[in-house]
């Protein structure tokens, strides 16, 4: 077929049917083993989690680290911490507060170390507090500086009337306020062919879009693939489509003006995401002042075609 | 018409006339609802405001955060802060200073916490001071590292004589000292067509420029669109132009050598920004030493064409 | 020969045979003298070493810096440090702890400076502690923000059957979990020609690949150069190949979605890395749930061709 | 002439002869007035100066800021600083040390504020110390993260024999150890034409290079423009060349693998930089081990052509 392309990186021969290769949210649905883990994976994790979890983990680390040092000071002997009061909370608790005052470099001085072992441990703890600070700052900035444009896609792929035939439609919008420029979309389709020996041969198609590049994305953008003679959907019926286990992959890239960064997003749709003979509702319109207004949550508004 | 292009992302059918879609300063004139807000929007806000406001907000946050902790310490009981002097300012004020000394980790020690509850709160406050520091550093660097090239545009679009016909001219310059390289400009025109049913159909045109790419931008750059047979302005008069509610959109991109970043700028002009039969004055010239000199504020110097 | 290209930057005439120009790991095998060294080379070093070594060096610097200040305070006179206890560790040790408390800004106050000289040195030490903190934070973030995709390559270049002829094959995979998009590969071959005067003339070839661009790299990618009439390997035998001292250079670039950065990797293979008449084993396959699974360490699994 | 191009952004008509438009080091030789200055210009300045000057300025700012606060505390009254000793250095000096202990958050506690006014100023000072820290960290990282590849160019442009004719040659190398990939060079020539009215008309030429793109830059690269029939140097003599006041502009771009950044460099040469009938010496060669060796400082080694 005309639009068939080479393997875009996924593979072509499989011994049995595969689940979707790209999850709905664009991550890979693959179990990769043997990869090297490192400190940077922690970084990756720490910048991808939510702010709540991020602060929570930092706080847990802070308490945990202080507990470790408290135990060390306690084992050396609390008598080496000047200022622990017999009439105060238990010595372990007071030692914990001494540790906090050292780690954060508050150092009121009402609790202070004495003797070589305790002073040495305090020297190390202050250094670790110092380092933790640097690392937390690096993490905070790492979180801040990731591009924060967030493209949302319609939940469904529509099979819709278009001009004098049919089309495949997917809708998207930028959920955030930052400005995306020079946005380019690619729509790739995977279809399985079952070989006589039961193995699966994946075929890939680049589905041409009516518009595949826009300069600006202020509102929404509907990707439209017209089903013409070149299209893999030309002349096949619903049943044949389902049999081919199709997976649609949208690859989007643009330039985030706010952070001067190139951003890429991907999104995958499978058979159960297809809606037949539906159209997306138009969700943006000028209000009374002539200013265009819309609600990004309306991106999923669709209507049956006979309603038109 | 020859230069007509596909929708660059704005839409083509509207129920009524729209106001400008791009504001003068390049931001979108759109009311977007339902978008998700998050911590990163605070970041975006904090890096886009002026330095004065930035420092002001940080200071307000610092005072506010300390007030919150002061209230907590006060409710627990000021007797748990060792060193509050009966002959000093009111206990609340002294508690506030204790809070400051904890938050900033100064910790002179003349004021210090005692008892489990107060010490625990101080443990949390020192942690929050610690985090605030990290976040403020992230914000400061985020502000620093944004590209600081600032393109200024002429206030007007000129309709000027050019060669043996006419042209549309827009002037621009880099207001800052940093170096922009490989600067590329696109000029897009929107014109409305009123349909019989009163709806508006927007048409888009890419206006070809005499020069649309320069290697360097040391001085000023005048974008010139020659009105030839292919141009949407060919053979139509002023009244027809006004009726079409034209909006000019300049999209500029370049590479900021100082920060090794790609930068994009956009600017919109509407009907009221058009000046007829005017020319931009030449504003840069070699001085007595042969060094070229100009004042970026002169970018708006224009003169009627019969003066020439 | 058809695929011969211009010098890609390495040079063409050498007085004697050269060792590989690109090391196995992609670094240059060259001795460059006279280059300017600077503070930034320290940065480069500090962000490229392992985390263990990084923390170790920071700790060594911390101890070293404190020793320097301890000596200065000691020379000025320990009597200028209030709080040194005659019944404690030696004065030098106590002075060291005072230095630590100043450098880290812990400042318990049980040790404090007095007199102009000691206070002045403490003023400088606190400033240097302050700066060290800034630099350490910069280094930590510099380490975090480097792209952490890590491409691993097969240890060998295979000479394998392919379609109705032969091919050169190299396999690669992304060892980490982050997502690489739009990956492009170039395969360049260097071959030496010995001139009558004993000098070496290097010839360069761009070896066309069956697929040289993939959209996604979820699993592995095998680069395949088909040996056709245009190929420099067409019609020459093993002995002639070894005589030409071939060096294969793979240049890979892609976009790391996690960090929104373009990344480049290179890898070099020499004669001893060639394996004749072998094939790479297929190492990824759907598991029982249909999810594709593989172990990146299996990238070197090869098998003789007659096994097939 | 065949290679003439449009104005690359410099202008074409000048009332009198101009000095070089691009300085030797690539900066613009232009006096720009009226540009807006801001906090970010300080940032730009602080990241471009040498490390010595950078640390010096930070230290000066540290001392200066503390002096300002010392004066404020002094005016409020030193009796509000607990711990100033009558037998110590003058009160102003002791107040300065108190300020330092507050600004850096060391806070030993031997000096501490009392009373509302002094405590309030200390609250502000600790905040400013806090902020200074953030800004210094931002600056330090800004300095670290700038691409540190440094291209050095030969001091001269050579007019050299090349193949069966002549050429213009410029040599360059990467002075640092970091790896530049995909390096592309453009060579632009400006020549003046004096109009009958004494005004200057600048003409621009793109001088095609024998090789204008290299994949790697491990050693040196000699840019070669062959003077053929299309070249503006074809058939004109030395005197005519000098009369045209030529300026050569080299624009180089590449990808710095170490920092994953695109980098651009430019360099300008004028009449006095031309050397006639000279060749660059070959400065890199394999040493006894076959490893290629060179000294970047040898980039200016040239020899008269009759020596060959």
CB of B57 less than 8 A from some CB of D: no
Instruction: Give the nearest chain D residue to B85 (CA atoms).
Output: D114
Of the CATH numbers 3.90.1150.10, 3.40.50.720, 1.10.3720.10, 2.60.40.1400, which one belongs to the domain with range C4-32+149-307?
Answer: 2.60.40.1400
High-pLDDT (> 70) share of chain C, %: 96
- Given D18, D116, D134, which is nearest B286 (Cβ)? D18
Q: What per-residue confidence (pLDDT) applies to C218? A: 85
What residues of chain B lie within 8 A of the CB of D108, using their CB?
108-109
Which chain C residues are within 8 Å of D133, Cβ to Cβ?
130, 133-134
pLDDT attached to residue A308: 47
Mean pLDDT for the stretch of residues C110-122: 93
- pLDDT score of C240 more than 80: yes
- Indicate which of B48, B140, B297, B298 best probes the interface with D, i.e. most D CBs within 10 Å of its own CB: B140
Question: To the nearest whole angstrom, how far is the Cα of A116 from the nearest Cα of chain D?
Answer: 20
Best-predicted range by mean pLDDT among A87-91, A231-235, A260-264, C96-100? C96-100
For B148, the closest of D16, D40, D129 (CB atoms) is D40
pLDDT digits (tens, 9 = 90+) for C185-214: 999 999 999 899 888 899 999 999 999 999
pLDDT at B273: 94
C9 with D150: Cβ contact below 8 A = no
Closest-CA distance, D108 to chain B, in angstroms, reads 5
Cα separation, B264 vs A259, in Å, equals 10
Query: What is the pLDDT at residue C148?
Result: 61
DSSP line for B103-152 = HTS---SSSEE-SHHHHHHHHHHHHHHHHHHHHHHHHHHHHHHS----EE
pLDDT tens readout for residues A246-267: 999 999 999 988 778 888 888 9
Q: Do A105 and D105 touch (CB under 8 A)?
A: yes
B287 touches chain A (CB under 8 A): no
- The b/e string for B126-143 (b: 16+ C-beta within 10 A; e otherwise) is bbbbbbbbbbbbbbbbbb
What does each C-alpha distance from A179 to A255, B249, B256, C104 come to in angstroms?
A: 8, 15, 19, 43
Q: Is B212 on the interface with D (CB under 8 A)?
A: no
The DSSP secondary structure of chain D, one letter per residue, reads -TTEE---SS-SEESS----SB-TTS-B-EEEES----HHHHHHHHHHS-HHHHHHHHHHHHHHHHHHHHHHHHHH-GGGEET--TTSS-HHHHHHHHHHHHHTT---SSSEE-SHHHHHHHHHHHHHHHHHHHHHHHHHHHHHHS----EEE-S-EEEEEETTEEEEEEEEEE-SSSPEEEEEEEEEEEEEEE-TTS-EEEEEEE---S--EEEE-SSEEEEEEE--TTSTTTT--HHHHHHT--EEEEEEEEEETTTTEEEEEEEEEEGGGEEESEEEPP--EE-TTS-EEEEGGGGG-EEEGGG-
CATH class of this structure's domain B148-307: mainly beta
Contact by Cβ (8 Å): B35, A177? yes
The predicted structure's pLDDT at residue D308: 47
pLDDT band at residue C252 under the 50/70/90 scheme: very high
* A103 closest CA partner among A80, A131, A125: A125
Q: B107 — contact with chain C (CB < 8 Å)? A: yes
Choose from A164-173, B279-288, C280-289, D138-147 the range with maximum mean pLDDT. A164-173
The C-alpha of A238 sits at a distance from chain C's nearest C-alpha, in angstroms, of 23
Closest CA in chain B for residue A181: B264
The average pLDDT across C221-229 equals 94
Interchain contact D84–B (C-beta under 8 A): no
pLDDT of the residue at B36: 66
Please indicate whether, in this complex, the C-beta atoms of C29 and D55 are within 8 angstroms of each other: no
3-state secondary structure of B271: helix
Chain C residues with CB-CB distance to D144 below 8 A:
40, 43, 138-139, 142
Per-residue pLDDT of chain D (308 residues; tens, 9 = 90+): 568 888 888 888 888 888 888 888 878 888 888 776 667 678 888 888 888 999 999 999 999 999 999 999 999 999 999 999 888 889 999 999 999 999 999 999 999 999 999 999 999 999 999 889 888 888 888 888 776 668 899 999 999 999 999 999 999 998 887 788 999 999 999 999 989 988 889 999 999 999 999 998 888 899 999 999 999 999 888 999 999 999 999 999 999 887 788 888 889 999 999 999 999 998 888 888 888 888 988 999 999 987 54
Rounded Cα–Cα distance for residues C136 and C133 (Å): 5
- Asked whether the predicted pLDDT for residue C307 surpasses 60, the reply is no
Distance in Å, alpha carbon of B270 to nearest chain D alpha carbon: 26
User: Is the Cβ of B254 closer than 8 Å to some Cβ of chain A?
Assistant: no
pLDDT at C249 exceeding the cut of 80: yes
Q: What is the DSSP letter of A127?
A: H
Is residue D264 within 8 Å of D252, Cβ to Cβ? yes
Average pLDDT of the residues in C80-107: 92
Smallest Cα distance from D147 to chain A, Å: 17
Please state the pTM of the whole predicted model: 0.85
Interface residue A285 vs chain B (CB under 8 A): yes
**Is B93 in Cβ contact with D116 (below 8 Å)?**
yes
Give D 8-47 residues with CB within 8 A of chain C: none
**Topology (CATH level 3) of domain A39-145:** Helix Hairpins (1.10.287)
Q: What is the average pLDDT across B196-223?
A: 91
Cβ-defined contact of A105 to D108 (cutoff 8 Å): no
* C105/B contact by beta carbon, under 8 A: yes
Instruction: Please tell me the distance in Å from D42's CA to the nearest CA on chain C.
Output: 18
| Token reading at D293 | 């060796």
- Asked if B224 and B211 touch (Cβ cutoff 8 Å), the reply is yes
**Using a CB-CB distance cutoff of 8 angstroms, which residues of chain A are in contact with residue C285?**
14-15
- The listed CATH number (3.40.50.150, 2.60.40.1400, 3.40.50.2020, 3.30.43.10) that belongs to domain D149-307: 2.60.40.1400
* B-contacting residues in A 122-151 (Cβ below 8 Å): 133, 136-137, 139-141, 143-145, 148, 150
The partner residues of B189 in beta bridges, in order of sequence, read B205, B248
CATH 2.60.40.1400 in chain B is located at 148-307
Q: Which residues of B touch C137 (CB under 8 A)?
A: 137
Q: Where in chain B do CATH 1.10.287.70 domains reside?
A: 39-145
Task: Give the count of Cβ contacts less than 8 A between chain C and D.
Answer: 198
Q: Does A191 touch chain B (CB under 8 A)?
A: no
Q: Which residue has the higher pLDDT, D88 or B112?
A: B112
Q: Determine whether the interchain pair B291/D131 forms a contact, defined as Cβ–Cβ distance below 8 Å.
A: no
Asked if A226 is an interface residue toward chain B (Cβ–Cβ < 8 A), one would say no
B-D C-beta contacts closer than 8 Å: 198
Q: If you average pLDDT over residues C209-231, what whole number do you get?
A: 92
Q: What are the b/e assignments for A61-97, b being 16+ CB within 10 Å?
A: ebeebbeebbebbeebebebbbbbeeeebebeebbbb
Q: Does residue D65 sit at the C interface (CB-CB below 8 Å)?
A: no
Chain C nearest-CA distance from B54, in A, is 21
Report d(CA C302, CA C275) in Å as an integer. Answer: 9
Question: Across residues C158-176, what is the average pLDDT?
Answer: 92
The reply to whether C118 touches chain D by the CB within 8 Å rule is no
pLDDT of B228 > 50? The answer is: yes
Span(s) in chain A for CATH 2.60.40.1400: 4-32+149-307
CA D19 to chain centre: 21
User: How many Cβ atoms are within 10 Å of D79's Cβ, its own excluded?
Assistant: 11
B108 interfacial to chain D (CB closer than 8 Å): yes
Query: What separation in angstroms does the CA of C142 have from each of A67, A262, B109, B189, D263?
Result: 30, 20, 36, 44, 18
Residue C289 binned pLDDT confidence (cut-offs 50, 70, 90) = confident
Structure tokens at C33: 């003298």
pLDDT in the model for residue B5:
87
pLDDT for B308: 47
pLDDT given at position C37:
67
- What pLDDT is stored for residue B307 in this prediction? 52
DSSP E strand boundaries for chain A: 4-5, 13-14, 30-33, 81-82, 112-113, 151-153, 157-162, 165-174, 180-194, 200-206, 213-216, 220-226, 247-256, 261-270, 274-276, 278-280, 285-286, 292-295, 302-304
Comparison of pLDDT for C244 and C41, the residue scoring more: C244
Closest residue in D to A261 (Cα) is: D261
Q: What is the pLDDT of residue D19?
A: 84
Q: Which of C40, C102, C107, C145 to mutate to test the interface with B (most CBs of B within 10 A)?
A: C107
What's chain B's average pLDDT?
Answer: 89
pLDDT in tens, B71-103: 999 999 999 999 998 888 899 999 999 999 999
Measured between beta carbons, the chain A residues lying within 8 angstroms of C135 are none
Nearest to C172 by CA among C129, C209, C123: C209
Residue of chain B with shortest Cα separation from A294:
B32
Question: Do residue C218 and residue A30 have CB atoms under 8 angstroms apart?
Answer: yes
Cβ-defined contact of B109 to C105 (cutoff 8 Å): no
> Nearest chain D Cα to A141, which residue?
D138
Residues of C in contact with D70 (CB under 8 A): none
CB A66 within 8 A of CB A101: no
Q: Average pLDDT in the A51-57 region?
A: 93
pLDDT band, residue C36 (cuts 50/70/90): low
Q: Average pLDDT, stretch C62-89?
A: 94
Q: Which of C226, C219, C218, C268 is nearest to C247 (CA)?
A: C268
Q: Does B289 touch chain D (CB under 8 A)?
A: yes
Read off the DSSP letter of residue A22.
Answer: B
Chains with 3 or more CB pairs closer than 8 angstroms to B? A, C, D
Record: contact C58-A9, CB cut-off 8 A:
no
Asked if residues D129 and D104 have their Cβ atoms less than 8 Å apart, the reply is yes
Q: ∠ CA D159-D264-B215 to the nearest 5 degrees?
A: 75
Which residues of chain B lie closer than 8 angstroms to C109, CB-CB? Answer: 108-109
pLDDT tens-digit series, residues C132-144: 988 888 888 888 8
Q: Say what the pLDDT of residue C308 is.
A: 47
């Amino acid at each position: 077929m005309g639009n068939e392309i080479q393997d875009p990186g996924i593979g072509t021969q499989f011994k049995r049917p595969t689940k979707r290769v790209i999850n709905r949210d664009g991550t890979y649905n693959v179990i990769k083993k043997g990869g090297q883990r490192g400190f940077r994976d922690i970084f990756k994790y720490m910048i991808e989690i939510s702010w709540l979890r991020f602060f929570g983990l930092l706080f847990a680390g802070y308490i945990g680290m202080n507990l470790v040092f408290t135990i060390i000071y306690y084992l050396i002997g609390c008598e080496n911490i000047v200022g622990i009061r017999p009439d105060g909370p238990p010595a372990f608790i007071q030692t914990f507060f001494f540790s906090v005052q050292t780690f954060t470099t508050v150092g009121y001085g009402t609790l202070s170390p004495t003797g070589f072992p305790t002073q040495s441990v305090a020297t190390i703890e202050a250094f670790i507090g110092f380092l933790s600070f640097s690392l937390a700052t690096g993490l905070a900035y790492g979180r801040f500086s990731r591009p924060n444009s967030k493209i949302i896609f319609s939940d469904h792929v529509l099979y819709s009337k278009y001009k004098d035939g049919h089309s495949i439609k997917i809708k998207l919008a930028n959920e955030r306020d930052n400005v995306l420029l020079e946005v380019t979309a690619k729509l790739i389709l995977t279809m399985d062919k079952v070989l006589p020996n039961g193995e699966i041969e994946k075929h890939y198609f680049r589905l041409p879009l009516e518009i595949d590049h826009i300069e600006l994305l202020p509102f929404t953008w509907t990707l439209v693939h017209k089903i013409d003679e070149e299209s893999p959907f030309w002349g096949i019926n619903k049943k044949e489509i389902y049999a081919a286990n199709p997976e649609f992959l949208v690859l989007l890239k643009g330039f985030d003006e706010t952070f001067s960064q190139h951003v890429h997003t991907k999104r995958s749709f499978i058979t159960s995401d297809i809606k037949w003979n539906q159209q997306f509702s138009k969700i943006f319109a000028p209000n009374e002042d002539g200013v265009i207004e819309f609600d990004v949550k309306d991106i999923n508004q669709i209507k049956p075609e006979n309603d038109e």
